[in-house]
Chains A and B, each alone.
Chain A
Amino acid sequence: MEGLLQGVQGYMYPNEVELQWSVLIVLYPYITGLVAGAFILASLVRVFRVEAVAPTYRLALLTALAFLLVAPLPLQLHLGHPERSLEMYLTPHTASAMAMFGFVYLWYLMAVLLLEIWLEYRPEIVAGAQSATGPLRLLYRVLTLGSYDVSPEALRIDDRTSFVVTLVGIPSAFLLHGYVGFIFGSVKANPWWSTPLMPIVFLFSAIVSGIAAVMLLYMAMTRLRGLEIDMPCVDTIAPYLFYAFVIDFSLETLDLIHRIYEADESFHTLDFMVRTRLYLPHIIVQIVLGTLLPIGLLALTQVVKLSEPARRGLYATTGVLTMIGIFAMRWNVVIGGQLFSKSFLGYTTYKMEFASQEGFLMAAALLILPFLILWALVRLLPPWGGGHAAPQVRPVA
C-alpha cells in the first residue's frame, strides 16, 4: 500500500490515490459489448434478411449467451459485499443508473436471448428429448419446457414470434450496452467520462467487437471442424465490420476534437495523461493498432481484389486487432478515468495485482470462462446447419 504513494505525481486528493475500479470493471463493458455486438450480427440475418451471414446466426446467439452469463461475474467479484447484491433487485434506488443493471440484464437474458435461442432450437431440442440417451435426454426434456409440438404450424408460429423477439432485441441490445456507457457518461465529477457521446461510443464499439468476435469464432470453429470457411459469409461480414468501425472511430474522433477545441479546465490534465501514462494503451494500442490498422486492412479488402487466402488472413488479423483495440478502449475509459486527480493537479498509477480477487489471474479466468460455456453450448445446441443458420435447409411444411 505504501508503495502507492510512489506512483503519485503532482497532487491527488488523499482518498484518490488508490484506484477504485480495477481490471474487473474493464471486463464488464468489454463482455457486455461482445454480447450486444454478437446479437446485432444475428439480427442481420433475422430482421434485415442478410442471408449471406446466415452461417453465423446461431453461433452469434450462443456467443451472446455465453458472454452474457459471465457479464455479472466481474461486477459481483468486485463488490465489497457480494452477498448484498440481491438488494439491487429488491430495493433498487431508482435515481441510480447502476441500480438498473439487474433489470436491464434480466430483461435481455430472459425476454430476448433465451427466448430467441429456445425458439430457434426447439426442433433440435424436441428431437434430442426423443432420441438422446442418459442425462442428456433429461436435459433436453427440461429444455423443451413441456412443448413437443414441432408441427409446421407450430414452427411457423415460432418463426413469427422469434422475428418479433429479434425486433424487440435490437433496441434491447442497444439499451444493454448504451446503458453501460451511461453509467460512465453520467458521472459529472469525471471529465474523462462525462460526455453524452459515451453511450453511443460504447454502443458502436460494442457492435464492432461483437461482429469481430463472432467472425473470428466462426472462422476458427470452421477450421477446427476441418471445413471450408464460407467466403461469401465472411466477405459480407467484413464490410459491416468496416462501416461499424468507421462510425465508431468517427464518434471517438468527434469527442477528441471537441475536447481539444473546447480545452476546458480538465484539458491540460487529460492531455498530459494521454501523452504520458496512457500513451501506450491509448495512442498505440487503441488508436493505431486497434482502430486505424484494422480499418485500413478492411478498407484494403474492399478496394483491392485479393485472393481468398489473403482475405481470410486479413479478416483474421483484423478480427484479432479489433478485439485487442476494443479491450484497450475499455481499459482506457475505466482505468484512464481514475489515473488523474479530480483536482486536475496530479496522477496516480494502477498496478494490477496478479493472483488476488481482482487481479490478472481472475480477469484471465473470466475471459476464458465464456469460451468454455460456449463450448458446452455448442455441444448441446449445435449451431451448424439447422434453423436460420442455413435457410436453404430450413424445415418447410
Chain B
Amino acid sequence: MSDDQTGRREFLARSGTFLLLTGAAGIAWDAVASGEPEKAPNYRSTDHWWAMAIDVEKCIGCGNCVRACKEENDVPREPFYFRTWVERYHVPEGDIERPEVDSPNGGYDGFPEKYRAGDGAKSFFVPKMCNHCAHSPCVQVCPVGATFESPDGVVLVDKTYCLGCRYCVQACPYGCRFIDPRTKTVDKCSLCYHRISKGLTTACCETCPTGARMLGDLKDLKDPIHDFLRTHKVQVLKPQMATGSKTYYNGLDGSVR
C-alpha cells in the first residue's frame, strides 16, 4: 500500500468521524441548549465514570487553570471563591509536618517569586479542586439532597434547590466548596459538566500548558487515564478520610494536606 493510499484512507476515516461527531452533537444540541446535557440522547451518564489525574511533577504554577475555571464557570473573582486553586508548598528537608504553604489569590495571578533555589528545601505546586468523591461527605449531609453524585461520578449541585445552609461546606475535608454571594447557594467544581457531557474536556485541563491535569473516564477502557494510573504511584488527598476520592495525584508529597 502506498503512502498516498494510507493518507487518503486516514483522511476519509477522520472526515467520517468528524461528520459523525458533528451529527451526534446536532442530535444532542437540544438537550445541551436546554441546560440538561445528561439527557442528550448520545450522552448516557451511566456509560461514564469520571475521574481526574493530576501530575504534581508537571505543574508550574502558572494559574491558567484557575483563570480558565473562573472564566468558564463564572466564579466570583474575589479571593475567597474558588472551584479550583493552586497551592505552593515549600518543605524544609525532612520536615513534612511543617510545610510552608501559600496560594495568593488561589494562584489566579501566578506566583510571585519567593524562594531561592538551593535554600535547603523543596518547592512544588499542587492544584486543588473537588475530588468528586464516591462517598462524598458533602452529599451525605445535604438536608434536601440538593447536592448529589451523578450516575457518571460527578458531584453536582442543584442551585434551584440548595437552601444555603452551608452544612456541606463544613463537611468537605478539602475546602472545595463556597457560598456564591450572588445566588446565596453553594458552588463548587462541576468538572465542567456542561463540557464533558458534550465530549469536551474541562476548562482547567484544556488550558494547562504542561498537561498536569488529565480528565479521565474510568469506564472507557481506552482512556489514557488507565495507563496513567497503572504506570504512576498515585495517591489521593487525605486518604484517611475515606471519601472515595476520584482525584488522583502523581508525585504527591507527604506534606500535602
How long is the Cα–Cα vector from A16 to B106 in the complex, in angstroms? 12
Q: Is A379 an interface residue (CB 8 A)?
A: no
Do A88 and B170 touch (CB < 8 A)? no
Contact of A14 among B80, B169, B185, B257 (CB under 8 A): B80
Given contacts A80-B185, A188-B241, contact A15 B175 (CB under 8 A): yes
B-side contacts of A307, CB under 8 Å: none
Given contacts A20-B169, A190-B170, contact A1 B179 (CB under 8 A): no
Stretch from B32-40, B45-53, B140-148 that touches the partner = B140-148
Q: From residue A257, how far is it (CB to closest CB) to chain B in Å?
A: 23
Contact of A93 among B87, B142, B257 (CB under 8 A): B142
Given contacts A96-B143, A99-B143, contact A11 B101 (CB under 8 A): yes
> Is the contact region of chain B dominated by helix, strand, or loop, or is it mixed?
loop
Stretch from B55-63, B156-164, B194-202 that touches the partner = B156-164
* Per-residue interface assignment for chain A, residues 153 to 183, with 1 indicating a CB less than 8 Å from any chain B CB and 0 otherwise: 0000000000000000000000000000001
How long is the Cα–Cα vector from A315 to B242 in the complex, in angstroms? 49
B-side interface size class: 35 or more
Contact of B144 among A12, A17, A93, A338 (CB under 8 A): A93
Q: Is A305 an interface residue (CB 8 A)?
A: no
A-side contacts of B162, CB under 8 Å: 80-81, 84
Do A88 and B163 touch (CB < 8 A)? yes
Do B80 and A98 touch (CB < 8 A)? no
Q: From residue A189, how far is it (CB to closest CB) to chain B in Å?
A: 4
| B residues 79-108 touching A (CB-CB < 8 Å) | 79-82, 85, 87, 99-103, 105-106
A-side contacts of B106, CB under 8 Å: 14
Q: From residue A252, how far is it (CB to closest CB) to chain B in Å?
A: 22
A-side contacts of B165, CB under 8 Å: 75, 78-80, 98
Given contacts A81-B185, A189-B170, contact A345 B163 (CB under 8 A): no
Q: Is A344 an interface residue (CB 8 A)?
A: yes
Do A20 and B102 touch (CB < 8 A)? no
A-side contacts of B139, CB under 8 Å: 95
| A residues 63-103 touching B (CB-CB < 8 Å) | 75, 78-81, 84-85, 87-88, 91-93, 95-99, 101
Q: Is A187 an interface residue (CB 8 A)?
A: yes
Nearest B residue to A99, CB-CB = B143
How long is the Cα–Cα vector from A345 to B100 in the complex, in angstroms? 8
Q: From residue B155, how far is it (CB to closest CB) to chain A in Å?
A: 14
Given contacts A79-B164, A345-B257, contact A188 B141 (CB under 8 A): no
How long is the Cα–Cα vector from A393 to B143 in the complex, in angstroms? 48
Q: Is B173 an interface residue (CB 8 A)?
A: yes
Do A91 and B144 touch (CB < 8 A)? yes
Q: Is B14 an interface residue (CB 8 A)?
A: no
Q: Is B233 an interface residue (CB 8 A)?
A: no
Nearest A residue to B176, CB-CB = A15
A-side contacts of B101, CB under 8 Å: 11, 343, 345
How long is the Cα–Cα vector from A367 to B87 in the complex, in angstroms? 42
Q: Which of A14, A79, A190 has the most CB of B within 10 A?
A: A14
Q: From residue A265, how far is it (CB to closest CB) to chain B in Å?
A: 8
Q: From residue A196, how far is it (CB to closest CB) to chain B in Å?
A: 17
A-side contacts of B173, CB under 8 Å: 188-189, 342
Do B171 and A87 touch (CB < 8 A)? no
Q: Is A263 an interface residue (CB 8 A)?
A: no
Q: Is B29 an interface residue (CB 8 A)?
A: no
Contact of A16 among B161, B175, B241, B257 (CB under 8 A): B175
How long is the Cα–Cα vector from A16 to B128 in the complex, in angstroms? 14
Q: Is B234 an interface residue (CB 8 A)?
A: no
Q: From residue A346, how far is it (CB to closest CB) to chain B in Å?
A: 8
Do B143 and A92 touch (CB < 8 A)? yes
Given contacts A81-B163, A91-B145, A93-B144, contact A343 B184 (CB under 8 A): no
Q: Is A138 an interface residue (CB 8 A)?
A: no
Q: Which of B81, B142, B163, B167 has the most CB of A within 10 A?
A: B163
Q: Is A341 an interface residue (CB 8 A)?
A: yes
Given contacts A14-B80, A96-B140, contact A80 B184 (CB under 8 A): yes
* Per-residue interface assignment for chain B, residues 127 to 151, with 1 indicating a CB less than 8 Å from any chain A CB and 0 otherwise: 0100000000101111111000000
* Per-residue interface assignment for chain A, residues 318 to 347, with 1 indicating a CB less than 8 Å from any chain B CB and 0 otherwise: 000000000000000000001001111100
A-side contacts of B140, CB under 8 Å: 95-96
Do B175 and A92 touch (CB < 8 A)? no
Q: Which of A5, A75, A91, A189 has the most CB of B within 10 A?
A: A189
How long is the Cα–Cα vector from A242 to B127 in the complex, in angstroms? 53
Q: Is B213 an interface residue (CB 8 A)?
A: no
Q: From residue A134, how far is it (CB to closest CB) to chain B in Å?
A: 42
* Per-residue interface assignment for chain A, residues 4 to 28, with 1 indicating a CB less than 8 Å from any chain B CB and 0 otherwise: 1100000111111110110000000
Q: Is B226 an interface residue (CB 8 A)?
A: no
Do A96 and B142 touch (CB < 8 A)? yes
Nearest B residue to A20, CB-CB = B166
Given A14-B85, A96-B140, A345-B257, 12 extra CB contacts under 8 A: A1-B78, A11-B102, A12-B175, A13-B174, A14-B80, A14-B82, A80-B184, A80-B185, A84-B163, A88-B143, A93-B142, A95-B139
Ranked 8 nearest A-B pairs via Cβ: A80-B164, A13-B175, A80-B184, A189-B173, A93-B145, A99-B143, A11-B101, A98-B143
18 pairs across A/B with beta carbons < 8 Å? A11-B87, A11-B102, A13-B103, A13-B175, A15-B80, A15-B169, A15-B177, A20-B166, A80-B163, A80-B165, A81-B162, A81-B164, A87-B144, A92-B144, A96-B140, A97-B141, A188-B241, A343-B101
